[in-house]
Amino acid sequence: MVYAKNRVTEPMVRAGWLNSPRGAPSGVRGDDAFVAVSWDEALDLVAGEVARIRDRYGNPAIFGGSYGWASAGRLHHARTLLHRFLWAAGGATLQTTNYSFGAAMMLLPHVLGNIDAVVGNVTEWREIFAHTERFIAFGGLPSKNWKVASGGAGLHGFEDHAANARASNIVFTSISPMRDDGVAAFGASWQPIRPGADTALILALAHVVHERGAVDHAFLERYCTGGDRFLAYVAGRTDGIPKSPAWAAPLTGISADAIVALAESLIGKRTLFTASWALQRAENGEQPFWALIALAAILGQLGLPGAGIGFGYGSINSTGSEAFRTPAFGMPARSHPGDLSIPVARVADMLLNPGGTVEFDGQTLTYPDVHMVYWAGGNPFHHHQDLFRLRDAFAKPDTIVVHEPWWTATARHADIVLPATTPLERNDIGGSSRDPFLFAMQRAIEPYAQARNDFDIFGALAERLGVREAYDEGLDEDAWLRRMYETAQKRLAERDIPTPSFETFWNEGFLRVPVPDKAVTPLAAFRADPAAKPLATPSGKVELYSQAVADFGYADVPGHPFWIEPNEWLGSPLAARFPLHMVSTQPGDKLHAQMDGSSESRRGKVAGRNELWMHPDDARARNLSDGSVVRVFNDRGATLAGLRISDDIIAGVVRLPTGTWFDPATNGERLDKHGNPNAVTQDIGTSRLGQGCAAQSCLVEVAAYAGDPPPVTAFELPF
């Protein structure tokens, strides 16, 4: 990929933008040609636009997006560098939360006081194998995600954990519309479920626990608030609808008897509940997480070794690893106190509705009038939903600047594209707090063609704007790497962990932090003494009912876990027209959309396109054959995929992984030729509380593609 033909080799400017007066309409982004310019000319153009828009419209008119996994390296983390540069230049509009678990980020502080339960500070595997009897995984434990860790993964524990699981007496259950490879690896049983119905199942499990008299009322009294309200709702005393197995069965597709059996298997057992991050990327995505906390609470499991809740086992490599607390630092990010931050998944709303408002966690935010978008180290045409709507949104700003090694869809929709280096072409330090390694990421080759490091690009721009000292503090790459390492050394020295010199670290290639002697049990200190170690919630307890959330007055997030039927799922009227629920999982052959053009990624495609899983019954009903090109569509658009028929997915559900580069048709049709699921997902928030992405609430129809399918051109050059 370093030498791929679609590498950005020199600064490029979109012809229509270059030939138009600044701020005037300048042709169609995404379908225009690019022309090469010198680095000096490109940097002058970018610096000039930052200054022009800042001076004419104010700093909020500059949007510094750059959400994404640009590199494992901590110094050359493009998003941090961009934000630091924009801070030095006076500020900008930024983003808050994330696409991965944005809804949970806003919910969990109201319920548990922080977001530890979703960011890796969860029950360790060594404690699971010592104490757990039941392990319930909503969303499965897919092995592919165990290869992924922010900052880089040196510890690869999937095979060991899976082997230990199979040899243990722990009963693992995966509740998912798909039988992923983690089911067999962990010796788990598979309980199929209709997508979007997890909250209904959890409430029905709580109903059985309540009916059997197995609620730990002493735990609720001492450690929780709102347990009585939650149980009253579960019993149907507040709305006249008992959340019984009979009620949940038609919603979930699981028989009432199976629900009862699952619930009864939890009673009296040391149980750990988990849910994949994907569960909350849906309409009302906050609810299954809150409901799962409530179920663990009424069983009295929170704070016990090997029990309680923890989100993201199977979503990322580090979940459940030891609490190494490896100090991995880069350049400190900077922002101004007055900088506006919008929820990360609302970028298209912001661009399309300047002056509009969005309700978010009890606030009402006003969207700025954005005239410049600056993106480095990310690909919104991968992460975002309803990509044709995003394409409309990207037509609005005066100027879009992108740093990229390759001609991604985001680069193609830019006005100025600056060629960035890959991790093989620069020096850096990688690492993750839940991984024991710090990595010396030594440059393997010189920068390819005219590529430059993001660190240096922003330094040159800061120089032109007169803010170089604020941006890099007068330090070059080598000096920053040494400062980063020395900062890590000081933190480790405070824990009596010896470290080698920087030169020794750099020559040996890595540093390994020892395994902590004792496992950290989440909420154990709180359970031992809730008065001395209260949670950071208003009550100091686990809030099964949150008065703060209730006071927001959001109908889509009442004050306790609640079943709210999604607008788009198999139980909605829309299913009469689009009778298949599409889930968009992470890909198994890459991280997000990174290096989709590589031979490794292309080998996994079907007919040159992303693979769509479909149950044999659904394929027969549509007269579709394995390996054929199919059209996946709804009212938002369509995408072409290669069909894979499999009984590892339930009937009525199809799976189309993310990560395929967006490749829109050039004739104006809202058609992606490559199999990108976000061509058809809906661009709405999970709720007014979290405003996370709701990609998993998506109905489609699938049909054979008539005639010769158009060629995939995502990896061709746009000039």
pLDDT tens track for 552-561: 999 999 999 9
Whether 67 sits among the annotated catalytic residues: the reply is yes
Per DSSP (E only), the strands in 361-436 are: 363-366, 372-376, 399-404, 416-419, 428-431
Who's near 528: CB < 8 A, 6+ residues apart? 303
Query: How confident is the model at residue 152, as a pLDDT?
Result: 86
pLDDT digit string, tens, across residues 233-261: 999 999 999 999 999 999 999 999 999 99
pLDDT digit string, tens, across residues 65-95: 888 776 789 999 999 999 999 999 999 999 9
Distance CA 487, CA 491 (A): 6
Hey, is 636 helix, strand or coil?
Answer: coil
Query: How confident is the model at residue 694, as a pLDDT?
Result: 98
Residues 80 and 329 sit within 8 Å (Cβ to Cβ)? no
310: tokens are 């923890």
Distance CA 241, CA 132 (A): 33
Rg (C-alpha) for the chain, rounded Å, is 25
Per DSSP (E only), the strands in 462-616 are: 510-512, 542-543, 580-583, 611-614
Residues 608 and 641 sit within 8 Å (Cβ to Cβ)? no
Distance CA 145, CA 158 (A): 10
Distance CA 535, CA 529 (A): 11
Query: How confident is the model at residue 159, as a pLDDT?
Result: 93
Active-site position among 17, 67, 277, 367: 67
pLDDT digit string, tens, across residues 212-221: 999 999 999 9
pLDDT at 181 over 90: no
pLDDT digit string, tens, across residues 190-211: 999 999 999 999 999 999 999 9
What average pLDDT does the segment 378-405 reach? 96
pLDDT at 97 over 80: yes
Which domains can be identified in the chain, with CATH numbers?
Answer: 12-91+341-512 (3.40.50.740), 121-319 (3.40.228.10), 573-704 (2.40.40.20)
Query: How confident is the model at residue 584, as a pLDDT?
Result: 98
Query: How confident is the model at residue 456, as a pLDDT?
Result: 98
Active-site position among 17, 39, 57, 69: 69
Q: What is the percentage of the chain residues whose pLDDT exceeds 90?
A: 91
Query: How confident is the model at residue 668, as a pLDDT?
Result: 86
Alpha helices in 188-323, H assignment, sequence order: 198-211, 217-223, 227-235, 245-252, 256-264, 286-298
